[in-house]
Amino acid sequence: MLTTIRNFSIIAHIDHGKSTLADALIQRCGGLSEREMKSQVLDSMELERERGITIKSQTATLNYKSEQSAYTLNLIDTPGHVDFSYEVSRSLSACEGALLVVDAAKGVQAQTIANSSIAVALGIEIVPVINKIDLPAADVDRVCREIEEMAGVDASAAIAVSAKTGVGVDELLAAVVSRVPPPIGDAKAPLQALIIDSWFDKYLGVVILVRVKHGCLRRRQRVRFMVTGEERDCDSLGVFTPKLEMRESLSVGEVGCVITGLKDIAAARVGDTLTAVRRPCAKPLQGFKESKPHVFSSLYPAQPNDYPLLREAAEKLRLNDAALVFETEKSPAFGFGLRCGFLGMLHMEITQERLEREYGLELVLASPTVVYQVLTVAGEEILVDHPGRLPESGSIREIREPIADMTIVTTSMHVGAVMTLASKCRGVQRRVDYASLQVVMIYEMPLAEILGGFFDRLKSATQGYASMDYEFKVFRPAKVVRLDILINGERMDALSSMAIAEEAQSRGRALALKITNSISRQMFDVAVQAAIGGKIIARETVKAMRKNVTAKCYGGDVTRKRKLLEKQKSGKKRMKQFGRVEISQDALMAALRSDEN
């Protein structure tokens, strides 16, 4: 019955206790036995446990018995980091309610505001939860005021809990049943099931996570993916408790998984609608906005012969991470590699680490760049994600850089430090709101500045008392130039980057010096130059190694030594003309590391 089903997500800022609270709810509802329980039980990836963060949304169907009735609770645990906010919006679209978890000591943070805004926009019921009340610094009343003032959510009926000790968990479960509305749907209507997520299992093939909106999904039923048109039989149906438990059917309002034997995850797009072949629905459900990558970088295998393995590993990883996009790229310095698009810097780090750890690869990561919008003289707008793909300067009318709306939450004593840092990073202040002991600062800032280590500098400037969230807003005109690195007159595309015109010269000098210090000496002088267009703006020289060719001369006429030295000089000149500079892997990696600001 629909009246006994509750679908809800847990949303919060990173490290506010979402996964621990999910553990407490699972244990209290008997989803796992004492022997099967472990900390962060929904964080199934080894990398999630090591970093202490949630990367992929996970679900659990729990059975809860109150004094009046028995209920089915469909819980979705979501990530807290800004890079994975697309997972949060997808999860909330499948729910009628959300538990907004806030740390009782730290209070409201940037992602708390961002996630609550997503929930408010979707019109779902928000239940504020004050977690970690067992901490000595916990202040429930202050945090309730912050939730109302900063997040705009009524916190008069907030639930105070300690997920670690179990205090307040029973009250929270009762609040979920009483305050989260049951799902709405027609069991007799044609099947409409929204695909929330999909991933690849090496034993089962593509596993599809769905929320049934209307109708009923049965095992062995022939179904159609409405966007792709693919038709398949439902081999198996099930729910996660959080163990996989097989079912014969999924009814209206339920969240479960479908296994159809698919091998290509592209056929099961997230946001697509699943319907029956015999009695299809009239139109698909409103899906999700596709996540667009904001950061691009190139991945090259340390051993060029490993490129086929890298390509295969990336294909497999994309089955589990629909936000990852890539295409083949060839560089004269590195050989074949992949040009990849990521949602942010953390997403890039996680992807590289998973490829190296899960598939045994050793990778070289190029300097990350953002996407620029280029307006040509012909009036065409093109997106450029690599400096080497920038059109000739004569055909460019204007280059626009991506601007993001950034929310910074800090304490009042660090406002000055944040303002100073933001102005250095070309940030424009839009609003400052004071609430309780915290301050919310709204800025417009170039995305390239944010991704260039801004968060680390923000933490340093505020002694750790700051959090931030950002969202792409618009492209704006900027004086951006392509900074090329030439080694002995040959341009190295892998080392090219985009830079603000005012900073290009100093950045070019620093990069040329860095590369010079990394390149081992050759038998001839090696010129390392930084250039903008055809203009050289910086030059460093790696001096030639001198071989003692006169060592075998034990006396005699001095002209004999001069003859040998002249022969060596002409040989070096010829070598410089025809020889190629050999650059070690360590030198390339040192050159590709992001510059410290």
Q: What sign does the CA torsion over 29, 34, 35, 39 have?
A: positive
For residue 149, what is the DSSP state?
I
**Which pair of structure tokens corresponds to residue 218?**
């049965």
16 annotated binding-site participant? yes
Q: 329 in helix, strand or coil?
A: strand
Q: Where are the beta strands (DSSP E) in 452-597?
A: 466-477, 480-487, 490-491, 497-500, 526-532, 535-542
Q: Where are the beta strands (DSSP E) in 13-165?
A: 58-65, 70-77, 97-103, 125-131, 159-160
Select from 14, 160, 6, 153 the least CA-distant residue to 84.
14
Q: What span, in angstroms and rounded, lies between the C-alpha atoms of 374 and 275?
A: 42
131 annotated binding-site participant? yes
H helices present in 32-139, as ranges? 46-51, 85-93, 110-122
97 annotated binding-site participant? no
133 annotated binding-site participant? yes
Torsion of CA 89, 91, 93, 95, to 10 degrees: -140
Q: Is 582 exposed, middle or buried (0-12, 13-18, 19+ CB in 10 A)?
A: exposed
Q: What span, in angstroms and rounded, lies between the C-alpha atoms of 195 and 274?
A: 7
Angstrom CA distances, 470 to 180, 266, 327, stand at 29, 29, 27
Asked whether 487 and 450 are in contact (CB, 8 A), the reply is no
132 annotated binding-site participant? yes
535 Cα distance to chain centroid? 37
Select from 13, 45, 20, 99 the least CA-distant residue to 353.
45
Omega prior to 242 cis, within 30 of 0: yes
20 annotated binding-site participant? yes
Q: What span, in angstroms and rounded, lies between the C-alpha atoms of 576 and 337?
A: 29
CB atoms within 10 A of CB 77: 27
Select from 353, 367, 387, 388 the least CA-distant residue to 515.
367
Torsion of CA 125, 253, 84, 169, to 10 degrees: 60
170 annotated binding-site participant? no
93 annotated binding-site participant? no
- The set of residues, in sequence order, having a beta carbon less than 8 Å from that of 283 and lying 6+ positions away, is none
484 annotated binding-site participant? no
Asked whether 239 and 248 are in contact (CB, 8 A), the reply is no
Q: Is 406 exposed, middle or buried (0-12, 13-18, 19+ CB in 10 A)?
A: buried
536 annotated binding-site participant? no
- The set of residues, in sequence order, having a beta carbon less than 8 Å from that of 476 and lying 6+ positions away, is 400, 401, 403
Angstrom CA distances, 441 to 30, 85, 199, 202, 433, stand at 43, 20, 38, 46, 6
Angstrom CA distances, 384 to 212, 299, 345, 366, 390, stand at 40, 18, 18, 16, 6
Ordered DSSP codes for 251-279: -TT-EEEEE-----GGGS-TT-EEEESSS
**Binding site: residue ranges?**
15-20, 131-134
**Binding site for GTP: residue ranges?**
15-20, 131-134
